[in-house]
Amino acid sequence: MAVGIFDSGLGGLTVLDAVRRRLPDLPIVYYGDNAHAPYGVRTANDIYALTTTATEKLFAAGCDLVILACNTASAAALRRMQESWVPRDKRVLGVFVPLIESLTEREWGDNSPPREVAVKHVALFATPATVASRAFQRELAFRAIGVDVESQACGGVVDAIEDGDMILAETLVRAHVDALRRKMPEPDAAILGCTHYPLVEQAFRNALGPEVRVLSQPNLVADSLADYLQRRPNMVGPGTESLFLTSGKPRQVSDRATQFLRRPIEFQAA
- Catalytically active residues, by annotation: 70, 194
Backbone angles phi, psi at 194, to 5 degrees: -155, 135
CA angle (87 as vertex; 77, 25 as ends), nearest 5: 85
Q: 220: which residues sit within 8 A by CB, 6+ positions away?
A: 98, 99, 101, 102
> How distant, in Å, are the alpha carbons of 139, 163, 176, 183, 203 from that of 166?
31, 8, 15, 26, 10
| Residue 135 zone, left/alpha/beta (φ > 0; ψ -120 to 50; rest) | alpha
Strand order in the sheet with 91-93: 91-93, 63-68, 2-7, 28-32, 243-246, 268-269
Number of Cβ within a 10 Å radius of residue 82? 13
What residue ranges in 8-98 does DSSP mark as E strands?
28-32, 63-68, 91-93
